[in-house]
A and B are shown apart, each in its own frame.
Chain A
Amino acid sequence: MILAETSAIDDLFSGYWLPLVIKAVLVLGIFLVVPLVVGYMEHKVLAHMQARLGPMEAGQFHGWAQLMADGAKFIQKEDIVPAAADGPVFSIAPGVALVPYLVVLVVIPFGSDLYALNLDIGIFFVLAMSSIGVLGVLMAGWASANKFSLMGALRAAAQLIAYELPLVLAAAAAVMLAASTSMIGLVEAQRTVWYIVPLFPLFIVFMMSAVAELTRPPFDMPVADSEIIFGAYTEYTGLKFAFFLLSEYGGIVVMSAVASVLFLGGYLPLPGLSAIPGPLWMFGKIFALAFIIVWLRATFPRLREDQLQRFAWIKLVPVTLVWILGVGFVKVAMH
């Protein structure tokens, strides 16, 4: 394995603080820009899948500035905290939902020497951080002093518990094959074959669990608008609401990035196409997976809450366990 010891940013700039600041700015930049692009893509893809055009006016050319316009609108909105709400918790909740995804982005590699941080326990860090986000949703639901918010939050929590298990198990199988928990190590181990080939069912399981964990359709019962208004976000307005939205799209980006690191070889090119640089491959894979997540939203209706739970515990978990068992056997037999 050819592992670069340090990130390219460390080689280009000397000192301790300068590379650190540059990395932080780059990560923040990616976190603020890529989710917006994914959000715009969702607008457009959803629209065209329904034979519509989607945003066409903002920014003149095919509504490219629509999400910036939305952001500007959210900033101007009144910031309402309900009288009965638990003020501080209510205000902290959007941050708790948003920051974990930003933090996860730190360990995502965009090239063999292009990353902010190469943690030895990268994938553990990612899975641990990505499940903190739901805490923000739970806080929001409880602090809103609204029955719909509380029900939405409880659904989100139940959903997270149900789908975290298959998500982690699917990731564990990739870790077993790669024999590494670092994100770079996981990618480099796929130089021979991308793990989507031997672990295809687990890739499906991982994507389904990721969609469920992001509470995206068809697993969006926590925000089922026909039943519980907008779940935990019912009482939120303005910038705080925008943070929740950003965390949803940030979550799509992060989950797509993690899935492409685990199963699609991250920044590795397809054979014969190594002329295209790694970061482009990484972004291409992120957008391809984000497209699939949007595609699912355009196609499938929302499941019922109990169907969702049944599906996770009775189907996904056993399937994942059996595959992990198989992976274990193969791994031992090959030794």
Chain B
Amino acid sequence: MASDVRPQKEQGIGLGLLQGLAVTLRTMTKRAVTVQYPHVKPDLPARSRGVIALKEANCTVCYKCSRECPDWCIYIDAHKETHEPASGGRARSAKILDRFAIDFALCMYCGICVEVCPFDALFWSPEFEYAEYDINDMVHERERLEEWTYTVKPPPALEEGAEAPPEDQPEDQIEAAS
């Protein structure tokens, strides 16, 4: 009976029909799986691709994210500043971030920027309620991107027997944001 894939001959008189009725009736007595979204927030996994957060302190303005971005939705402006070391010697230069913005109207949530960031400045946050009435407002500037870091959840626990993460204190880098 289990291997019957073809249209089968009637097994008894409408036995299959009765089984079907039993299935629907049983389902009716169970609790519905619906999450009533606006009233009840969904419980999303820690690394859900909701919005990208920027921890500005970690950013070295290396432009890797904006160059890797497949649809060029990351805007970075920076200028170079030099300052003399107190101990004397050649002047040191540093890049100062002027603008960091992500256009979420363009973003396709591929996560390449988060992957490619060498200093853990970009994070996924599961927040997703940032719809706007004007498409121009979908461009999140650095202040707003910084805000999102407060919603980043700690990484999910490693599976049992998994390889230890390369960094020594994985909690610190994320917790430091809050």
Contacts and interface: CB of A to CB of B under 8 A. Distances in A.
Contact of B24 (A52, A53, A56, A298): A298
B33 A51 contact: yes
Interface string A277-321: 000000000000000000110111000000000000000000000
Contacts of B28: 45, 48-49
B162 interface: no
A295 B25 contact: yes
B30 A51 contact: yes
B21 interface: yes
Q: Is the interface of B mostly helix, strand, loop or mixed?
A: helix
B22 to A, nearest CB: 9
B31 to A, nearest CB: 8
The 7 closest A-B pairs by CB, nearest first: A49-B24, A53-B34, A48-B28, A299-B24, A53-B32, A299-B20, A49-B28
A50 interface: yes
B20 A300 contact: yes
A299 B34 CA distance: 20
Contact of A49 (B17, B27, B34, B36): B27
A149 to B, nearest CB: 32
Contacts of A298: 24
B23 interface: yes
Interface string B9-52: 00000000100110111011010111010000000000000000
Contacts of B32: 47-48, 51-53
Contacts, number: 34
17 contacts: A47-B32, A48-B27, A48-B32, A49-B28, A50-B27, A51-B30, A51-B33, A52-B33, A53-B34, A53-B36, A56-B36, A295-B25, A296-B21, A298-B24, A299-B20, A299-B21, A299-B23
B7 to A, nearest CB: 11
Interface in A27-55: 45, 47-53
Nearest to A47: B32
Given A49-B25, A49-B28, A299-B17, 6 more contacts: A48-B28, A52-B33, A52-B34, A295-B21, A299-B20, A300-B20
A288 to B, nearest CB: 14
Interface residues of A, number: 14
Contacts of B36: 53, 56
Q: Interface size for chain B: under 10, 10 to 19, 20 to 34, or 35 or more residues?
A: 10 to 19
With most chain B CB atoms within 10 A of its CB, the pick from A295, A298, A299, A300 is A299
Nearest to B30: A51
A47 B32 CA distance: 8
Interface of B: 17, 20-21, 23-25, 27-28, 30, 32-34, 36
A300 B25 contact: no
Contacts of A56: 36
Choose among B20, B23, B24, B25 the residue with the greatest number of A CB atoms under 10 Å from its CB.
Answer: B24
Contacts of B24: 49, 295, 298-299
A53 B32 CA distance: 6
Contacts of B34: 51-53
Contacts of B17: 299-300
Contacts of B33: 51-52
Given A299-B20, A300-B17, A300-B20, A51 B25 contact: no
A52 B17 CA distance: 22
Nearest to B23: A299
Nearest to A48: B28
A261 B96 CA distance: 85
Interface string A56-86: 1000000000000000000000000000000
Contacts of A47: 32
Nearest to A218: B17
Contacts of A48: 27-28, 32
A60 to B, nearest CB: 12
Interface in A9-43: none
Contacts of B27: 48-51
B66 to A, nearest CB: 43
Nearest to B29: A48
Contacts of B20: 299-300
A50 to B, nearest CB: 7
